[in-house]
Structure 1
Amino acid sequence: MREQGVDVFDGNGALGFSFSRNNDNGPVYGERLVTLISSSLYAEATGGPWVAPPSYSQEVAAVPPSTRPAPTPIAPAPKAEEEDKLSSGTGYFVTNSGHIVTNHHVVKSCSTIAVFSGDQPAAEGRLIGSDETNDLAVLKTDLKLTKVANIRIGARLGDPIAVFGYPLSQVLASSGNFTLGNITALAGMRDDTRHLQISAPVQAGNSGGPLLDASGNLVGTIISKLNAMRVVQATGDMPQNVNFAIKSSVVASFLESRGISYETNATSNALAPADLADHAKALSVMILCK
């Protein structure tokens, strides 16, 4: 059924107007409605041709797979301008011997690595293993520690989570930053099953930090965020809190491949947010790369 108009007369004048339309051709409003009515009246009065309304083009909300923006690794946060050769990131303890997990991109170009934990003086971080493909690295330090991460494998969609790290260290508090959110997808960009998507806000410098569940168990390692500007350019829409973490199962495999034992004493007792923040801070470190 094509769009068409029908005018009704009784011999003395027009009584009314009705029209029908093809539902497959898009909504009838604005210029389409005006054209439909006026062309029908014109055709009825003059015997002229009926004029089709202009076509409607529906905006595509999703980004075509071939043009989807890739996630952007959260770059290590630069220090002050006079220290432009320094950058910072985050890590967390996985053994009582001082092993620390972070991202490969946090330490890949470092000539020296300094690690800070609480009020202790900076300690040297020695790179003992790296996995560029999965963006993971493990350091060794002589720092004293009070907590290590308990790795939990098998996070669920919708689980509440927490992120601790040292983002934008040249601007924000040097004591660290704690944010809350949820697991919003069990895969990353292009269905990358190594990753989790999370809603907790992260910034430059959060890279390598722990992703914890409500009980303080480690379920991932922060890795990247969606490049908002590229998404805006591709879709016209600004994404909000679309960030990614490496699953704890990938972290566990990475540590096993290097013969490093890790804790798996996951608990199920939910912590109050303030207690969860204290726990996260105790097992996290700031990493300064030069």
Structure 2
Amino acid sequence: VSETRVSLSNGQIKGFTLMWPAGDEERRRRLIGEMDKSLVRLDTVLDPAAGSDEDQAIDLVSGLEVRKPAISRSGFYTDNRGTVVTTAEAVENCARITIDELYEAKLVATSDTGIAVLTPNDALAPLNVAAFSAQTPRLNTEIAIAGYSYEGVLDSPSVTYGTLSDLRGLRGEENLNRFALTALAGDAGGPVLDATGGVLGMLLPAPSAGPQLPDDVAFSLDRETIQAALRDAGKSGQTARSSEQMAAEDISAAARSMTVLVSCWK
């Protein structure tokens, strides 16, 4: 328990703070009285710059380092109950998993294709959920990905535009789509949207082994693979009903509102 007493005189604030164990009122009254009587106001005041730290950082609070997750990646809502799909690398060997660093989540299932399915511990009401595209995209059409590119440094997801290069992987993998776009590590697990706002797939992490690919080559697991992973986990996804193209700003808004930050805490 603490008590602070201050007074203003000649433009200067002076005083003291006393802290004591709860329940020790007798000693508190005695000490407060003695401190009131013995307080002497000096002419000097604290330098206004005292206590400032030129080496400022957003991950410091009152000079103390803020605890950070071991890894953060992107994910997206797939139903109105808050089920999230993300990349399996985001949730490996975690003591805790959070959505947007606010909501505790549990790992429901992972697939051998690299998909992880999460559910929040408490019910959530997402602003928007993924609706999987019902049409086959055409090559060289524009797509958008949403993700926490900088792994949570920014409060909101970023949207990056690119083009669909192929409906297969470089080795002919039928469950992959290849894109011409530049993505960052934090974007992995985020949704890939077509021109109608339908979700085509989930962005994969950059390959960690094999040939070094150009920076503007990215891959996603296709929508059929994601829907299969959801079914295996006892979940389901929605199918997009509209085939009309959306304005770029509407696609960005839709992508951001379904995208979440998935964090793994050790």
TM-score calculated relative to the size of structure 2: 0.69
Aligned to 1:90: 74
Partner-residue secondary structure (3-state), 1:260: coil
Please tell me the residue identity of whatever aligns with 2:114.
D
User: Residues of 2 paired with 1:286 and 1:180: CA distance?
Assistant: 19
Q: Are 2:172 and 1:197 aligned?
A: no
Partner of 1:104: 88
Retained in 1: the 8 A contact 2:142–2:194? yes
CA-to-aligned-CA distance 1:12-43 (integer Å, 9 cap, x gap): xxxxxxxxxxxxxxxxxxxxxxxxxxxxxxxx
Kept after mapping to 2: 8 A contact 1:161/1:200: no
Q: 2:102 aligns with which of 107, 122, 131?
A: 122
Per the alignment, in what secondary structure is the counterpart of residue 252 of structure 1?
helix
Q: Does 1:286 align with 2:241?
A: no
Alignment CA distance shift 1:122-1:162 (3 Å): same
> Higher Cα Rg: structure 1 or 2?
1
Counterpart residue type for residue 250 of structure 2: D
Which of 158, 162, 169 matches 2:144? 162
- Segments of 5+ residues of structure 2 without an aligned counterpart are 1-58
- Indicate yes or no: 2:242 matched with 1:262: no
User: One-letter code of the match for 2:248?
Assistant: P
Q: What is the match of residue 138 of structure 1?
A: 117
Indicate conservation of the 8 Å contact 1:162/1:200, yes or no: no
- Secondary structure of the 1:205 match is helix
Q: Aligned-pair RMSD on alpha carbons?
A: 2.4
Query: 1:226, 1:242 within 8 Å by CA — same for their partners in 2?
Result: no
Q: Which amino acid aligns with 1:99?
A: T
What does 1:225-240 align with in structure 2 at a 5 Å threshold? 225=206, 230-231=211-212, 239-240=214-215
Q: What is the number of equivalent residue pairs in this alignment?
A: 200
Question: Structure 1: which 5+ runs fail to align?
Answer: 1-78, 232-237
Give the deviation of 1:226 after TM superposition: 5.5
CA distance in 1, matches of 2:127, 2:257: 7
SS class of match (2:187): coil
* Structure number with higher strand proportion: 2
Alignment pair present for 1:179 and 2:163: no
Runs of 4+ in 1 over 6 A off after TM superposition: 79-82
Note if contact 1:103-1:208 (Cα within 8 Å) is conserved in structure 2.
yes
1:221 counterpart = 2:205: no
Which of 79-88 and 144-153 deviates more?
79-88
C-alpha distance in structure 1 between counterparts of 2:125 and 2:257, whole Å:
11
Secondary structure of the equivalent of 1:279?
helix
2:219 corresponding residue in structure 1:
244
Q: Amino acid of the residue matched to residue 89 of structure 2?
A: H
Q: What's the offset of the Cα at 1:170? A: 5.9
Equivalences for 1:60-75 in 2 at 5 Å?
A: none
257-266 or 79-88: which moved more? 79-88
* TM-fit CA distance, 1:229: 10
Q: TM-score, normalised by structure 1?
A: 0.63
Tell me, yes or no, if the aligned pair for 2:145 and 2:160 is still in contact at 8 Å: yes
